[in-house]
């Protein structure tokens, strides 16, 4: 009896051991075949040679020895001259744009492959460097690539650097590790605020006579409407008020001229000019009412001195701008409850600039300064090109506003374009010339500079300078490329 019991126990243990061995063999066999469990081989990170040193440093800070992957991942990079539609596992890691010296008149580079733009020497191109869009600011000039300007096109005009993660378990393993670091936002139309600043507008005198002939005030702007109306905000400094008493001899505007301004999509009218009171108080007040009715904001002038002194605060597309505008000794300023321009006072300007900077705003200061008059010749007269060609110390006055904290200072009294310069932490455009006027006798007064400013998250990324011209027909248009380069170089040659 006892012997049988021991036999059964022995048989049971034998079967248990055999089962255990078979189970273990099967388990380890499966693990061996599937490379799991005891035989599991951790996933390996393979870095392709297309990655640069900076990218490798970022990636290796993520894929440390503590990261345990089930599947291998191969990480590579490529570049494109067009914004790609990223596939699964792809991220636009950076956007590189070509820049050159601020004072260069070059505007474009031709390149058929991205790598050529990074080459130390690329035959046939202008001197430039490629920088991340994060490093772009107004102190360098942005160039187009193959005719595409990045801040206008956004999907062209740059080199788009893409990082690619290739793994069988991308969604489960890789995406949670890299998504926060590699998902970035870049400038796009919905986030970049465009502000076009223009110079003197005086829809008056001979323009009144011309309007009587053509009948439609949009005639004067029809060749530039498509350009100026395309910006988020368009500004001009209008020096003449609307009145039915406008003639070919006074600086007053036929009321129909409001159509010239609405046609260019005018959003901001500066009233620092010295002629807005030429037609009397009633015309000046009525003109402000007309602007208000059309949704056009005013700055640098008003129905009273208090109203004229109000800064214009712009808060759009994530950018905050304080726009200040002053009249400095050219007449037409209001000192009481009558309409007119905002008189410059040092104490007020310093306080207003300081308050805006404390808020973190970008500060633009426009100045109606002493005018430069060099109208003695029907030929090219460069006298007014230089900033100190006007009465007084124009350079010193404008630079002082930068010293007070302004980011950009613009002269809006000059009837002929003047030079420009980087100064301190800001930039100065001494005079923008005539956008609309009847001064067709001298070449200098028929031209103007349009400043196209591009803001992104309170930062001025770039200002593109676009020259315009009009002739005896008084229709403003863009100046041709060759003449533009010649004229801008002429202004650059006399910078302070």
Are 351 and 478 in the same domain? Answer: yes
Lowest mean pLDDT among 2-11, 52-61, 112-121, 182-191: 2-11
Task: Please report which confidence band the pLDDT of residue 108 belongs to, taking 50, 70 and 90 as the band edges.
Answer: very high
The yes-or-no verdict on residue 22 having pLDDT over 80 is no
350 CB burial (10 A radius; 0-12, 13-18, 19+): middle
What's phi and psi for 29, nearest 5 deg?
A: -65, -45
Domain end residue (candidates: 117, 149, 182)? 182
Average pLDDT in the chain: 92
The pLDDT of residue 31: 47
Are 270 and 309 in the same domain? Answer: yes
User: 205-225 pLDDT, tens per residue?
Assistant: 999 999 999 999 999 999 999
What's phi and psi for 101, nearest 5 deg?
A: -60, 145
Q: Stretch 319-327: mean pLDDT, rounded?
A: 98
User: 250-290 pLDDT, tens per residue?
Assistant: 999 999 999 999 999 999 999 999 999 999 999 999 999 99
Are 211 and 319 in the same domain? Answer: yes
Q: Is 16 part of a structural domain of the chain?
A: no
Cβ neighbours of 149 (radius 10 Å) = 21
Are 175 and 218 in the same domain? Answer: no
Cβ neighbours of 453 (radius 10 Å) = 23
Total tally of structural domains belonging to the chain: 2
Domain end residue (candidates: 163, 182, 201)? 182
Q: Is 32 part of a structural domain of the chain?
A: no
Are 292 and 425 in the same domain? Answer: yes
Q: Is 372 part of a structural domain of the chain?
A: yes
In percent, the amount of the chain with pLDDT more than 70 equals 91
Q: Is 93 part of a structural domain of the chain?
A: yes
Task: Please report which confidence band the pLDDT of residue 30 belongs to, taking 50, 70 and 90 as the band edges.
Answer: low
Are 175 and 224 in the same domain? Answer: no
Domain end residue (candidates: 147, 182, 217)? 182
Are 368 and 327 in the same domain? Answer: yes
Are 120 and 83 in the same domain? Answer: yes
The pLDDT of residue 27: 46
Q: What CATH number corresponds to the domain at position 384?
A: 3.60.21.10
Are 329 and 428 in the same domain? Answer: yes
The yes-or-no verdict on residue 6 having pLDDT over 70 is no
Rounded Cα distance, 243 and 281, in Å: 11
Task: Please report which confidence band the pLDDT of residue 23 belongs to, taking 50, 70 and 90 as the band edges.
Answer: low
Q: Is 5 part of a structural domain of the chain?
A: no
Determine the structural domain holding residue 314 and report its residue range: 192-492
Are 145 and 253 in the same domain? Answer: no
Are 213 and 80 in the same domain? Answer: no
pTM to 2 decimal places: 0.91
Are 58 and 207 in the same domain? Answer: no
The yes-or-no verdict on residue 153 having pLDDT over 50 is yes
């Amino acid at each position: 009896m006892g012997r049988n019991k021991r036999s059964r126990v022995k048989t049971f243990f034998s079967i248990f051991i055999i089962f255990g061995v078979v189970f273990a063999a099967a388990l380890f066999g499966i693990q061996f075949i599937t490379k799991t469990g005891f035989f599991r081989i951790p996933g390996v990170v393979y870095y392709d040679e297309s990655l640069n040193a900076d990218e490798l440093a970022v990636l290796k800070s993520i894929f440390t020895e503590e990261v345990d992957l089930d599947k291998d991942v191969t990480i590579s990079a490529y570049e494109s001259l067009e914004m790609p539609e990223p596939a699964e596992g792809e991220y636009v890691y950076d956007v590189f744009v070509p820049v050159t010296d601020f004072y260069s008149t070059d505007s474009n580079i031709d390149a058929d492959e991205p790598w050529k733009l990074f080459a130390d020497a690329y035959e046939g191109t202008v001197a430039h460097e490629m920088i991340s869009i994060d490093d772009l600011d107004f102190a360098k000039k942005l160039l187009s690539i193959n005719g595409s300007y990045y801040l206008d096109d956004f999907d062209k005009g740059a080199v788009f650097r893409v990082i690619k993660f290739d793994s069988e378990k991308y969604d489960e393993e890789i995406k949670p590790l890299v998504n926060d670091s590699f998902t970035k936002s870049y400038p796009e139309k919905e986030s970049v605020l465009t502000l076009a600043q223009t110079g003197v507008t005086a829809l008056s005198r001979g323009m009144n006579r011309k309007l009587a002939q053509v009948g439609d005030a949009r005639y004067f702007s029809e060749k530039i409407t498509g350009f100026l109306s395309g910006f988020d905000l368009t500004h001009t400094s209008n020096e003449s008020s609307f009145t039915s008493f406008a003639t070919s001899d006074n600086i007053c505007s036929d009321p129909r001229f409001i159509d010239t301004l609405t046609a260019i999509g005018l959003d901001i009218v500066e009233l620092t000019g010295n002629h807005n009171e030429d037609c009397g108080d009633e015309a000046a007040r009525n003109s402000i009412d007309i602007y208000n009715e059309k949704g056009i904001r005013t700055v640098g002038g008003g129905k009273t001195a208090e109203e004229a002194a109000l800064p214009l605060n712009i808060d759009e597309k994530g950018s905050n701008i304080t726009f200040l505008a002053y009249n400095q000794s050219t007449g037409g300023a209001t000192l009481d409850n009558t309409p007119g321009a905002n008189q410059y006072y040092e104490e007020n300007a310093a306080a207003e600039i300081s308050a805006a900077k404390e808020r973190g705003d970008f500060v633009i200061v426009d100045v109606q300064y002493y005018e430069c008059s060099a109208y003695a010749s029907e030929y090219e007269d460069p006298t007014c090109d230089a900033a100190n060609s006007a009465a007084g110390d124009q350079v010193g006055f404008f630079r002082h506003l930068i010293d007070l904290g302004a980011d950009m200072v613009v002269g809006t009294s000059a009837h002929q374009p003047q030079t420009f310069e980087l100064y301190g932490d800001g930039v100065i455009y001494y005079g923008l010339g005539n956008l609309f006027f009847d001064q067709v006798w001298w070449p200098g007064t028929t031209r103007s500079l349009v400043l196209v400013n591009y803001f992104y998250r309170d930062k001025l990324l770039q200002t593109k300078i676009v020259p315009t011209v009009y002739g005896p027909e008084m229709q403003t248009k863009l100046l041709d490329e060759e003449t533009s380069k010649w004229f801008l170089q002429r202004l650059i040659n006399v910078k302070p």
